[in-house]
Amino acid sequence: MRYGYYPGCSLEGISAEYDDSIRGLLAHLNVAIEEVPDWICCGTLAASSLSRLMGPATALWNVARAKHAGYDQLIAPCSACLYHFKHATKRVAENPALRAEIEALLELPLAAPPPTIHPLELLTADGFEARIRGLVQRDLSDLKVVCYYGCHISRPAAVMQFDDPENPQSMDRLLSWVGVKALDWSGKVDCCGAHYSLIRPDIVVDLCQGLFESALEVGAEAIVAACPMCHANLDTRQGEIGARLGRSLDMPVLYFSQVLGYALGLPIKSLGLKRHIVDPLPLMLAKCAQAGSAKGEVPSA
């Protein structure tokens, strides 16, 4: 099985910690990935909103190259890229006229492209549970988290075909394999406000304040995310959200790949744990110390 890897624009910049931790985690699990040659931006909502063709064409430029390279599956860690790839792939599969138009623009064929999947889809597929359970090095059983899936990973169901769009479980299940029991909560798929962070951060504060209130209500100490936009909003805007709630939140936002990688003993730096605005290290180290592992560091072999 050959896996293509599409980091997307965020993972190369503002969400570098997600890229760090995914690459580190997959390498540790012996999953070889190949970065899609000549990839470009997926287009996101901006391209889709401005032009009938530019949206799908820019997404499918990448899918066509993944097909040309011969990958069996294409891994896209960013939920927005994932959504635009899956959506465009489905539309051209169902609409031969549109497919012909886009093939002409791309000068590449689009028949039977490899499916695009989220890393959560990969890791919760057959064969990974036993492997992951067997590799646990650090004890995080005392860490209280909620899993925040966001909008795109499972909506709409007909397009994304992964997990439940109202009460997804894949991340919760994955974390349980390393001993982290995610708490049930009401904010799993509520929107974070997406790109409004740049133009109307007050809207992000409005939407995210409810998320933090729900997380606090169930006793969470950290939020675990699977999307770079969600992570950016909850991490970089946390100060403003706390100000709105009249309290200091100090609630780290971690990617599932960071939690997993940490539990499997990967070095802190390789997981991007020093890149956050709200520092997760004090919490991670304290939880490990409480559970008995010395200071959260892997004992030397």
Partner 1 sequence: MAPMALRHEFEALTGHDVNLCFQCGKCSAGCPMAERMDLKPAQVVHYIRLGRSEEVVLNSKAIWLCLGCETCSSRCPQQVEPAAAMNAARILALRRGRKPAVKEVGIYYRAFVNNMRLNGEIHDASVVAITHLRTGHPFHDLPLAWKLFTRGRVKPPPLPLHGGGFRKLYRRALDRDLDTGG
Please, what is the minimum distance in Å from the beta carbon of residue 126 to partner 1?
27
Of residues 219 and 267, the one with the C-beta less far from partner 1: 267
- Shortest distance (Å) from residue 68 CB to partner 1: 14
**CA 199 – CA 294 distance, rounded (Å):** 45
CB of 20 vs partner 1, minimal distance in Å = 10
Name the residues that contact partner 1, by CB under 8 A: 9-10, 12-17, 38-41, 43-54, 57-58, 61, 83, 91, 94-95, 101, 105-106, 151-152, 155-158, 165-166, 189-191, 193-196, 198-200, 203, 207, 236, 274-277
Angstrom distances, CA of residue 287 to CA of 17, 39, 224, 282: 21, 40, 15, 9
Least distance from C-beta 90 to partner 1, angstroms?
10
Select 54 or 245, whichever has its Cβ closest to partner 1: 54
SS3 125: coil
Minimum CB distance to partner 1 smaller for 73 or for 236: 236
Q: Report the residue number, 181 or 274, with the smaller CB distance to partner 1.
A: 274
Nearer to partner 1, 1 or 198 (CB): 198
Closest approach, Cβ 109 to partner 1, in A, equals: 15
For residues 19 and 87, the answer to whether their CB atoms sit within 8 Å is no
- DSSP track, 163-230: S-SSS--HHHHHHHTTT--BPP-S-TT----TTHHHH-HHHHHHHHHHHHHHHHHTT-SEEEES-HHH
What number of helices (H) and strands (E) belong to the chain? 16, 7
Extract the tokens encoding 205: 């504060």
